[in-house]
């Protein structure tokens, strides 16, 4: 079974104000995920603020995570960077520190062409012996992969999976089918964007790269298992219980919301890296009610 | 006279493949700008690939530039970074290394709110004693400043100028006037986006933050002086000679084009940082013809 299947739980990386990783708080979060039985852990994804951390701190986080859950829960590690040589170094670091797979986003400042992204991914894949998942997240990278570019990249040795933004539910069956037809059979197509991801799995996606799964693994696993079982009615029913949380995600961005939720649940006092600001007091009240409804 | 007036010439930062600054090639480019008589030098802007360079290399570039033209041509230095504390450190470095003014872009990965950008800018402005220009470049930062946010920021001590994308010529008079009405009289409103910038100056803008000015300062100065003199016919005539170059800028991004132009002019062999690829051979031919036309 590939590491790019099932519920991949993406967690925050707790740090101090200066960006130094709190490995103790990280271990608390990781143990919670292991105990719940998530299928993999997404370390240093967008939710894990990889873009805001130094190479040294990223390596410290991977080593701490491997020491905590390594060998028991697959570790998928984000290695995105603006420069190709930096992304290669981060990929080598991740492999040396105990990652089981890599996640690579085409981080950009100068807008990139398809050919530039292709060569960037091929160079990173060639630098290591780990399977790599293409992280297509136009909302943060401002690069959008066409299905054709994904298909071209899926032919590169080492590239084993795609993490796409989940399409609107009405479009999911056609979109998932169209992409799977273009990709080799072994390439695992998964989805992020928590509020539509379960429907994308119902439509044939094999993984949910989940922000809320990194904080509330049990209800997230219930939703994912229903989707994997093809139980559309149960997916609808469970999705309804998440609805107040999805509304907060859409309004404030999932990152600000999961930091506040981790604070409210007493898991860590860490705040997102500045300039990103914590959720305001009124929204924390809304969030507390959304979390209670989910746990009920 | 403020440093945020006139033609600000933004140059590339020549480096080796690993991102180490070639201070000799940088000095060659800087002397060319000083001899032509540009009003200021834009170091480590988007064209100067600041986002791709380490803190150490950014400081080396500023020290080299200050050693070369310091005290004679004002040095405006880009200090953008994803993290607020990093941007503050870069601002302090720039001041210590000899910058005369700062340029700050709201670099983002997680999309930022207006309040986050406001606090980020206020924190950087408070960290130094240099005047700061707000760098509004949605094409690279994916954050777009409203006129109201610019007005709020212009009230912060130290924030002295705005670098806005030049509007379409037909909209420039109304857009420039509307913004100037909202800002304090001392706040200098300048424009980037080479192909529309001279018209924005005709419409009342006081600075052109120019990519081509960093490579071809003499024809750029001719265009800017015509705009400053209010000579619309001469602006039109000179803009026509730049047209083949503007077409290449629009098609391939100005960064790829000015690197290739610097190579063609024999100024440096440096290439843009990977993943950004050099211009292809056919486009280099087109570029050579565009440069010849301009020099004729």
pLDDT single digits (tens) B177-191: 999 999 999 999 999
Share of chain B above pLDDT 90, in %: 98
Among the listed residues B5, B50, B135, B191, the single catalytic one is B135
Among the listed residues B5, B52, B109, B163, the single catalytic one is B163
Query: Euclidean distance between the first and final Cα of chain B, in Å?
Result: 33
Binding-site residue set of B for pyruvate:
47
| Res A208 pLDDT > 70 | yes
Share of chain A above pLDDT 90, in %: 98
Q: Report the run of H or E that residue A288 belongs to, with start and end.
A: helix A281-295
CA B279 to chain A, closest CA, distance in angstroms equals: 11
Confidence class for position B222, pLDDT limits 50, 70, 90: very high
Judging contacts by C-beta atoms under 8 Å, the chain B residues touching residue A17 are 85
Name the residue of chain B whose CA is nearest to A273's CA.
Answer: B83
**Quick check: B53 contacting A, CB < 8 Å?**
no
| Res A207 pLDDT > 90 | yes
| Res B15 pLDDT > 60 | yes
Domain segments of chain A as ranges:
6-229
Are B46 and A113 a contacting pair at CB < 8 A? no
What pLDDT score was predicted for residue A293?
86
| Res B158 pLDDT > 70 | yes
Per-residue model confidence as pLDDT tens digits over B109-155: 999 999 999 999 999 999 999 999 999 999 999 999 999 999 999 99
- CB nearest A109 (choices: B83, B116, B140): B140
Provide the chain A residues 142-181 that lie in CB contact (below 8 A) with chain B: 142
Judging contacts by C-beta atoms under 8 Å, the chain A residues touching residue B274 are 83-85, 119-120, 123
| Res A113 pLDDT > 90 | yes
Are A85 and B274 a contacting pair at CB < 8 A? yes
Per-residue model confidence as pLDDT tens digits over A101-112: 999 999 999 999
Judging contacts by C-beta atoms under 8 Å, the chain A residues touching residue B51 are 82, 109-110
What pLDDT score was predicted for residue A96?
98
Share of chain B above pLDDT 70, in %: 99
At residue B251, the 3 state secondary structure works out as: helix
The token pair at B117 is: 């950008």
What pLDDT score was predicted for residue A145?
98
Name the residue of chain A whose CA is nearest to B280's CA.
Answer: A115
Which are the contacts of A164, defined by CB distance < 8 A and separation ≥ 6?
Answer: A136, A145, A150, A179, A189, A190, A191, A192
From the number of C-beta atoms within 10 Å of its C-beta (0-12, 13-18, 19+), residue B295 rates as exposed
Question: Which contacts qualify for A111-117: CB closer than 8 Å, 24 or more apart?
Answer: A111/A142, A111/A143, A111/B139, A111/B140, A111/B253, A112/A143, A112/B275, A112/B276, A113/B277, A114/A146, A114/A149, A115/B277, A116/B275, A116/B276, A116/B277, A117/A143, A117/A145, A117/A149, A117/B275
**Quick check: B46 contacting A, CB < 8 Å?**
yes
Confidence class for position A295, pLDDT limits 50, 70, 90: confident
**Quick check: A46 contacting B, CB < 8 Å?**
yes
Torsion of CA B79, B84, B85, B86, to 10 degrees: -40
| Res A1 pLDDT > 70 | no
Confidence class for position A2, pLDDT limits 50, 70, 90: confident
Mean pLDDT, rounded, for B224-242? 97
The token pair at B151 is: 């007005």
Binding-site residue set of A for pyruvate:
47
Chain A and chain B share a number of CB contacts under 8 A equal to 91
The token pair at B96 is: 């210590």
Residues A192/A166, Cβ–Cβ less than 8 Å: yes
What pLDDT score was predicted for residue B172?
97
Residues B188/B216, Cβ–Cβ less than 8 Å: no
What pLDDT score was predicted for residue A8?
98
Confidence class for position B2, pLDDT limits 50, 70, 90: confident
The token pair at B153 is: 């920021």
| Res B1 pLDDT > 90 | no
Rg, C-alpha atoms of chain B: 18
What pLDDT score was predicted for residue B293?
86
Residue A271, strand partner residues: none
Confidence class for position B58, pLDDT limits 50, 70, 90: very high
Share of chain A above pLDDT 70, in %: 99
Provide the chain A residues 70-129 that lie in CB contact (below 8 A) with chain B: 82-85, 106-107, 109-113, 115-117, 119-120, 123
Task: Please give the Cα distance from B207 to B201 (Å, whole number).
Answer: 7
Task: Please give the Cα distance from A261 to A258 (Å, whole number).
Answer: 5
Beta strand segments in chain A, E: 6-10, 40-43, 75-78, 101-104, 132-135, 159-165, 188-192, 207-210
Which of B12, B109, B277 would best serve as a mutation to test chain A binding (most A beta carbons within 10 A)?
B109
Residue B135 is a catalytic residue: yes
Are A253 and B110 a contacting pair at CB < 8 A? yes
Are A111 and B140 a contacting pair at CB < 8 A? yes
The token pair at B280 is: 């292809």
Residues A131/A2, Cβ–Cβ less than 8 Å: yes
Mean pLDDT, rounded, for B27-37? 98
Domain A6-229 homologous superfamily, CATH? Aldolase class I (3.20.20.70)
Give the mean pLDDT of chain A. 97
Judging contacts by C-beta atoms under 8 Å, the chain A residues touching residue B280 are none
What pLDDT score was predicted for residue A24?
97
| Res A18 pLDDT > 90 | yes
Among the listed residues A50, A52, A109, A163, the single catalytic one is A163
Task: Please give the Cα distance from A267 to A259 (Å, whole number).
Answer: 10
Among the listed residues A5, A50, A135, A209, the single catalytic one is A135
Neighbours of B114 (CB within 10 A): 15
What pLDDT score was predicted for residue A274?
98
Name the residue of chain B whose CA is nearest to A49's CA.
Answer: B110
Write down the residue that tokens 């100068």 correspond to.
A110
What pLDDT score was predicted for residue A237?
97
Residue B250 is a catalytic residue: no
Are B277 and A116 a contacting pair at CB < 8 A? yes
Are A18 and B46 a contacting pair at CB < 8 A? no
């Amino acid at each position: 079974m590939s590491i790019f299947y099932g519920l991949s739980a993406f967690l925050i990386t707790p740090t101090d104000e200066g960006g130094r990783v709190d490995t103790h708080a990280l271990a608390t979060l990781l143990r919670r995920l292991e105990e719940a039985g998530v299928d993999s852990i997404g370390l240093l994804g967008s939710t894990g603020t990889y873009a805001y951390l130094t190479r040294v701190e990223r390596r410290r986080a991977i080593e701490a995570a491997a020491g905590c859950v390594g060998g028991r829960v697959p570790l998928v590690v984000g290695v995105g960077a603006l420069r190709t040589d930096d992304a290669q170094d981060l990929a080598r670091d991740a492999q040396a520190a105990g990652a089981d797979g890599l996640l690579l986003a085409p981080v950009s400042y100068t807008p990139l062409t398809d050919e530039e992204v292709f060569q960037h991914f091929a160079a990173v894949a060639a630098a290591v012996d780990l399977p790599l998942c293409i992280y297509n997240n136009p909302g943060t990278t401002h690069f959008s992969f066409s299905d054709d570019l994904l298909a071209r990249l899926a032919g590169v040795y080492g590239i084993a999976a795609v993490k796409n933004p989940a399409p609107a539910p009405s479009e999911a069956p056609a979109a998932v089918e169209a992409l799977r037809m273009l990709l080799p059979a072994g390439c695992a197509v998964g989805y992020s964007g928590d509020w539509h991801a379960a429907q994308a799995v119902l439509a044939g996606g094999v993984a949910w790269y989940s922000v809320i799964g990194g904080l509330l693994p049990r209800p997230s696993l219930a939703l994912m298992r229903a989707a994997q079982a093809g139980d559309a009615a149960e997916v609808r029913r469970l999705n309804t219980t998440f609805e107040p949380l999805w509304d907060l995600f859409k309004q404030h961005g999932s990152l600000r919301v999961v930091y506040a939720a981790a604070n409210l649940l007493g898991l860590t006092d860490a705040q997102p890296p500045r300039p990103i600001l914590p959720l305001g007091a009124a929204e924390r009240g809304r969030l507390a009610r959304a979390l209670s409804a989910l746990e009920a």
